[in-house]
Structure 1
Amino acid sequence: MISNTKTINKKNNFIKLLSAFLLIFICNPLFAQDKPARSNRLGRELGIVQAKDSSAKPLPKVSEYLIISSENDTTYVDTTLSIKKDYKFNYLRKDDFGLMPFSNMGQTYNSLTHNFQNTSLMPSFGAQAKHFFYQDAKDISYYRVPTPFTELFFKTAFEQGQATDAFFTVNTSPQFNFSIAYKGLRSLGKYQHILASSGNFRFTGNYQSKNKRYFAKGHIVTQDLLNQENGGIRDDNVQYFETGDPEFLDRSIFDVNFENAENLLKGKRFYLDHTYYLIRKRDSLSKNKLSIGHIISFEDKFYQFDQTTANSYFGDAFKTSTLKDKATLEYFYNQFQLNYSNNIIGDLQFNVGNTTYNYGYDKLVVLNGNTITNRLKGDVFSAGGKYRKQYKGFMLDGELGINVTGNLNGNYLKATASFKLNDDIAASATLNHSSKSPNFNTLLYQSDYVNYNWQNNFNNIETQQLAFQLKYKSLANITADLNTITNYVYFRKDETTLQVKPFQTNNTITYLRVKLENELKLGKFALNNTILYQNMQDNNNVLNAPELTTRNTLYYSSHVFKKAMYLQTGVTLNYFTAYYMDAYNPLLAEFYVQTKKEYGAFPRLDLFVNAKIRQTRIYFKAEHLNSAFSGYNYYSAPNNPYRDFIIRFGLVWNFFL
């Protein structure tokens, strides 16, 4: 097993978590924004401290604690308990419908569905199996709060660990807000050598000038995602799992393909988005707004695969020990914007951007007499625009971009028309076209393993998507999209070397998705349903997904103990039909196509009891309750069994001070 300093240091996540908690409780009194009469909000909510007199200011409403997205969409802190909160109570902190988790928390997910809507001009880094937990700039939120606000997230993991997320935000003045957060995970797992350990530090700032002409928001994010890898259980052990042999119910005794490898994704990003209004809208009678904007972002990330000794699982190697593959990407982006708004025309934006990229390796590889280059780098200049106009119940949105100069071609167009008849009925239609270079790791890859070295000159992946949405209250939310994909790039095993490498298909793939979400209520009982139908027209089977995926939750909700607690309890069924499920390659941290065996068609039953007391939400769940009696055919990927029955719990605790 690998026992280097990096892996050992990962065991200090608990210390980091403790430090984060201490930081929060130290900062709260230091940054209290209100007079002493209002400072102990938590005590008054619990009934421990009473207001001194009736002249004390009323407590701020929860709706005043604002959350602002990277696109300036604003919501507010939601402390309610709902079934959607249960779906989001995971390490991703978002609904994971359409994702099949691996056995250990913090491992990857297998995708049961694919979304081809795209508004990016640049290729992605690669190592996509590790990017489920990696937060991009669009995933970062900003805040504006009347009093200090804290959120603590905790969930038990699988053997010797836990998942935590500690968050604190405060407005030091009406003009400036900052937030600080740390999310950490350590989970040993039930199988040999699948430890997951990660850390994510986030700092955000949000500022507006007193005259409301200048606005700025920015963040600093550092994140590292470490996984020990074992290649799954060996082929000759699969039968022991599927027959349910009692001797192998202790999953740690399974033979795995190797126990001496790990991969790591690590990155840091500095981001600033600021705007200055040359002409601002002073009141409802004003017709024009004119502003200039600027976005600057620098991101430095790397993916690394380490193995102490070479293993035949990946074929021949250039050396026998201390194997190390490391790909790096430096990404520097500038965008300048001119924004104009008019009551008649709507909102217009013109922008120009520059991207400097530097992807590659620190060594040269000579293979079959040919030297594989070690860097892909250059400058790309782009231009684009956005448009938005609302007229009565109609909303028109448009966005386009194109790479004007540089070695990487790309363009996209997205147009949406939406209509809202009232608060209950809404509909929209979206057209999206995209042409983008494949991911960097499909164009260039270098490894100490011989068959994992390539340099490709693939064509751009072309996608067209036509999407519709119709929503009526909570009774029906129907979304559908029809996609055509040309020049699709995918991973599969080479027929000669039997090792995984990228390929590009010349055939056009047609892909249809239809999803229905609805909830039926009868008294205190409710049935929440999410059903996804998918149809793939692909003669070569290079893009695979189950025809039917469903999640159905029957639950009961009620106040108990004289309304001191709000309780939700029920059972959730997850199911997807059998299909050619993608396999996982730990060296690349990518999923690849396989057409030898279909997987799926097994139910997963989760029994849960959730409760809300004041501003605390508590979660108990018996996961995969039926694992012992419905057959041992449950897999997250070939040779990677899904988790067995386990009881887990956690909480989300909010503080308003």
Structure 2
Amino acid sequence: MVQKILICLLCCGMAAATQQAMAQNQQIRPGTQKTIDPDITYDRAGRPIKKAKGSDSLQHRDAFADSITIFYRFFDSTRNRIIDSSINDFYTRFPLPANYHTLGNYATAAQSFLFNPLMKPGFDAGFHQYDPYQFTIENTKFYQTTRPYTELSYLIGSKAEQLLNITHTQNRKSNFNFSFEYRFGNAPGILKNQNASQGNMRATMHYQTRNRQYEYFFIYLSNKSASSENGGLQDVRKLDSLALNDPYELETRLGQGSTFTRNPFNTTVNTGNIYSNSTILFRHHFDLGKKDSLVTDSVTIKLFYPRFRIEHTLNITGADYQFLDNAVDSIKYRTYYNVVLPNNARLSFRDRWNSVTNEFALISFPDKNNQSQFLKAGIALQNLKGTFGDITTTISKYHNIYALGEYRNRTRNQVWDIEANGQLYLNGLNAGDYAALISMKRLLGSRLGYLNIGFQNVNRSPSFILDPKSDFPVLNAGGFNKENVIRLFGIYENPGASFKAGAEYFAVTNYIYFDSMFHAAQQAALFNVLHLNAEKKIRLSRHWNWYTEIHLQQTTGQPPVNLPLLFTRNRIAFEGNFYTNLFLSTGVELRYNTPYKMDNYSPFMGQFLYQNTQSISNRPDINLFLNFRIKSFKGFVRLENLNTLNLKKGFEFSKYNFASGLYPYPGLWTRLGIWWNFVN
């Protein structure tokens, strides 16, 4: 009943918005962004104040004391970015990207529809099914703000799905910023033993001395994934004969009935995976260079131009990967996995890792006026400690020594961006691994946009889950060769025309994959993958826009990789700025992939499995959305999976799509979310 009411409200909202657009003759007013004034500094509360000539003792409040200027940089980047206030795409605020699918609900194992090999050399534990939900060093933001800034968001969905996010950042001084971010997501799921949760936390600090010679970055992040595993349905054909149109009625291949619960606050996992990791990163450097000053009519600004930098990075990481079943159902294990275990026994596979990496680097700046051009060379020592098993444990210690180099140049006229970097593992567990990347971006013209081309090559050791010492029972562990991936890419982007197109070409040898629940395989022969994509905003009328995203993929060489030939996402939206402060985007979203042989999934190994027997043809996903923004408040209302409508059974949503042969997606799904930011 609630879902029917929400459908009516969405339809009424879209109709009212259309009438409003016809009644008004307004143009969309773009948002404004204040520029950063070099003559302004900040007090301890982050308020802007004028710099006094030759001294900071005479300070006055600025006329814009109640406004905010905020920007951020990603870690290890020199490019400033502003906070995204757009509302036209729900997935810019949802942790899971639109090109991923799960096992049926948020926080379960996720896989991309697009070819996405691991392009990272060196040590890898081998567990990546929860990567899209994680906080990482690479996606960490370092802010600079004139006022304390806080963002709160809360999303609630069907079956008590919930997602909470809190972000806070502030400058205690103009040269010291800290931030804190916390995210928690929980989803009970539509099947027995499918509850899953994700918890993420991150804290950062950034400090630079007033003479600009010493600077440090501090990151602490923590991720925990707790996902029950049911192995999928015992018989998917019974979905057509549900008594109450609730898949929870059906039996699954893992878990005992007495342990099942639909409590939305329950995060207990009796049968499933519990993964956690935490990282402390501290990077600091000392610069040698030239001091200077800029004198204006009323202000003297001290300047410093680095020419040579000494840098040290400390990275301490701990990770824990465990599959457990606290009450084994021996009949299910014998029937579906050909494994003989005593009934009610406790089953556990567990690998724990500790890593300490010290990296030392020397950096040179050839042009004192361009800090985005530098040459970097360094060496690093990584110490690893692995603990295998749960009750009875074994311990192994390893090390890696690797060299690194990097060159970046973002030209001052912003015509060329060049990036080249590489790593070579000289000694240790992963000796012989390497990675190389070169990327060149060129501004073709103010109206023509940008062209970015590049080359990447990675040679990497097999993940440690394939080592015989791992506690996870890979039947043929050991004896795998290094995997090699070559990637050629090109991206053309024209912001003025709202158009982006790209191409990727992969050449892969010694590809490692899983082909059954406990068995891995390797294809030594070379195979290729070609990926073409395009994105475009098409203006249909004054207030109607069409956003289209298209991906085409093709393999050669008969690889053990199954990909959809076509994946596309389209949104047709009514959008505009009404009543001065109301920004609206409402319409329909469609997501579709051509039929293909979707991977199966091993809950024991945490791996998606190649299979070549069953092709799955899903209906296009159809979602209605109503997004709006009123000043700093943003709201999102979604009705998802309208494609599951089954007209043969009346107004019933029971024509399920599948994430694999055994895992159905839910029927009609509602989501309501709010995002609200505050300036203190």
TM-score clears 0.5: yes
**Mapping 1:109-128, distance limit 5 Å:** 109-116=110-117, 118=119, 120-128=120-128
Paired residue secondary structure (2:643): coil
Residue 363 of structure 1 and its aligned partner are, at CA, apart by: 7.2
Using the TM superposition, name which of 415-424 and 70-79 deviates more: 70-79
C-alpha contact (below 8 Å) 1:359/1:440 kept by paired residues: no
Partner Cα separation in structure 2 for residue 266 and residue 102 of structure 1: 20
1:638 aligns with 2:643: no
Partner Cα separation in structure 2 for residue 395 and residue 104 of structure 1: 40
Partner Cα separation in structure 1 for residue 157 and residue 231 of structure 2: 21
Paired residue secondary structure (2:63): coil
1:239 aligns with 2:237: yes
Aligned to 2:63: 57
C-alpha contact (below 8 Å) 2:157/2:671 kept by paired residues: yes
1:380 aligns with 2:400: yes
Paired residue secondary structure (2:132): coil
Q: Do the aligned partners of residues 117 and 514 (structure 1) sit closer, same or farther apart at CA in structure 2, a change above 3 Å counting?
A: farther
Aligned to 2:249: 253
C-alpha contact (below 8 Å) 2:349/2:390 kept by paired residues: no
Partner Cα separation in structure 2 for residue 571 and residue 604 of structure 1: 10
Q: Do the aligned partners of residues 280 and 153 (structure 1) sit closer, same or farther apart at CA in structure 2, a change above 3 Å counting?
A: farther
2:92 pairs with one of 63, 88, 98 = 88
Partner Cα separation in structure 2 for residue 156 and residue 132 of structure 1: 20
Partner Cα separation in structure 2 for residue 470 and residue 294 of structure 1: 36
Residue 66 of structure 1 and its aligned partner are, at CA, apart by: 2.0
Partner Cα separation in structure 1 for residue 422 and residue 531 of structure 2: 24
Residue 359 of structure 1 and its aligned partner are, at CA, apart by: 3.0
**Mapping 1:474-485, distance limit 5 Å:** 474-485=497-508
**Mapping 1:32-431, distance limit 5 Å:** 32-34=45-47, 57-59=63-65, 64-84=69-89, 86-92=90-96, 96-116=97-117, 118=119, 120-234=120-234, 237-241=235-239, 244-247=240-243, 249-260=245-256, 261-279=271-289, 282=292, 289-307=307-325, 308-309=327-328, 310=330, 311-312=333-334, 313-317=336-340, 320=343, 321-343=345-367, 346-362=373-389, 377-390=397-410, 393-408=415-430, 409-424=432-447, 425-431=449-455
Partner Cα separation in structure 2 for residue 350 and residue 319 of structure 1: 57
C-alpha contact (below 8 Å) 1:435/1:463 kept by paired residues: yes
Alignment RMSD: 2.7
Partner Cα separation in structure 2 for residue 180 and residue 413 of structure 1: 33
Q: Do the aligned partners of residues 446 and 428 (structure 1) sit closer, same or farther apart at CA in structure 2, a change above 3 Å counting?
A: closer
Partner Cα separation in structure 2 for residue 590 and residue 165 of structure 1: 28
Partner Cα separation in structure 1 for residue 121 and residue 470 of structure 2: 25
Task: Please list the CA deviations of residues 601-624 of structure 1 after superposition, one character each: whole Å capped at 9, or x if unmatched.
Answer: 420011000010110110000001
Aligned to 1:548: 566
Q: Which amino acid aligns with 1:315?
A: N
Paired residue secondary structure (2:210): coil
Aligned to 1:463: 485
C-alpha contact (below 8 Å) 1:280/1:290 kept by paired residues: no
Q: Do the aligned partners of residues 216 and 600 (structure 1) sit closer, same or farther apart at CA in structure 2, a change above 3 Å counting?
A: farther
Partner Cα separation in structure 2 for residue 57 and residue 462 of structure 1: 58
Partner Cα separation in structure 2 for residue 518 and residue 108 of structure 1: 30
Q: Which amino acid aligns with 1:266?
A: S
Q: Do the aligned partners of residues 472 and 161 (structure 1) sit closer, same or farther apart at CA in structure 2, a change above 3 Å counting?
A: closer
Residue 398 of structure 1 and its aligned partner are, at CA, apart by: 0.8
C-alpha contact (below 8 Å) 1:385/1:400 kept by paired residues: yes
Partner Cα separation in structure 1 for residue 114 and residue 48 of structure 2: 52
Partner Cα separation in structure 1 for residue 668 and residue 423 of structure 2: 48
Q: Which amino acid aligns with 2:237?
A: Q
Partner Cα separation in structure 1 for residue 134 and residue 452 of structure 2: 30
Partner Cα separation in structure 2 for residue 614 and residue 33 of structure 1: 22
Task: Please list the CA deviations of residues 413-438 of structure 1 after superposition, one character each: whole Å capped at 9, or x if unmatched.
Answer: 11112111234411011011110112
Aligned to 2:8: none
Q: Do the aligned partners of residues 421 and 117 (structure 1) sit closer, same or farther apart at CA in structure 2, a change above 3 Å counting?
A: farther
Aligned to 2:55: none
Residue 123 of structure 1 and its aligned partner are, at CA, apart by: 3.3
- Normalising by structure 2, we get a TM-score of 0.81
Partner Cα separation in structure 2 for residue 508 and residue 547 of structure 1: 20
Q: Which amino acid aligns with 1:184?
A: F
Residue 134 of structure 1 and its aligned partner are, at CA, apart by: 2.4
C-alpha contact (below 8 Å) 1:105/1:158 kept by paired residues: no
C-alpha contact (below 8 Å) 1:204/1:217 kept by paired residues: yes
Task: Please list the CA deviations of residues 263-293 of structure 1 after superposition, one character each: whole Å capped at 9, or x if unmatched.
Answer: 1001121111112112257479998611111
Paired residue secondary structure (2:138): helix
Task: Please list the CA deviations of residues 86-116 of structure 1 after superposition, one character each: whole Å capped at 9, or x if unmatched.
Answer: 2223234xxx132113322211223211234
Aligned to 1:519: 537
C-alpha contact (below 8 Å) 1:79/1:654 kept by paired residues: no
1:441 aligns with 2:439: no
Partner Cα separation in structure 2 for residue 125 and residue 287 of structure 1: 42
C-alpha contact (below 8 Å) 1:305/1:587 kept by paired residues: yes
Partner Cα separation in structure 2 for residue 406 and residue 489 of structure 1: 22
Q: Which amino acid aligns with 1:209?
A: T
Partner Cα separation in structure 2 for residue 209 and residue 59 of structure 1: 24
1:581 pairs with one of 566, 582, 598 = 598
- Normalising by structure 1, we get a TM-score of 0.84
C-alpha contact (below 8 Å) 1:263/1:305 kept by paired residues: yes
Task: Please list the CA deviations of residues 543-564 of structure 1 after superposition, one character each: whole Å capped at 9, or x if unmatched.
Answer: 121010000110011223x223
Q: Which runs of no fewer than 5 residues in structure 2 stay unpaired? A: 1-43, 50-59, 257-270, 295-302, 648-653
Q: Which runs of no fewer than 5 residues in structure 1 stay unpaired? A: 1-30, 37-53, 366-372, 494-498
Partner Cα separation in structure 2 for residue 55 and residue 430 of structure 1: 48
C-alpha contact (below 8 Å) 2:404/2:422 kept by paired residues: yes
C-alpha contact (below 8 Å) 1:156/1:649 kept by paired residues: yes
Partner Cα separation in structure 2 for residue 453 and residue 420 of structure 1: 52
Task: Please list the CA deviations of residues 465-485 of structure 1 after superposition, one character each: whole Å capped at 9, or x if unmatched.
Answer: 110111123442111011100
1:604 pairs with one of 604, 621, 645 = 621
Task: Please list the CA deviations of residues 121-166 of structure 1 after superposition, one character each: whole Å capped at 9, or x if unmatched.
Answer: 3132222212222222212222221111101111114423411011
C-alpha contact (below 8 Å) 1:477/1:517 kept by paired residues: yes
Using the TM superposition, name which of 528-537 and 159-168 deviates more: 159-168
Residue 317 of structure 1 and its aligned partner are, at CA, apart by: 4.9
Q: Do the aligned partners of residues 577 and 548 (structure 1) sit closer, same or farther apart at CA in structure 2, a change above 3 Å counting?
A: same
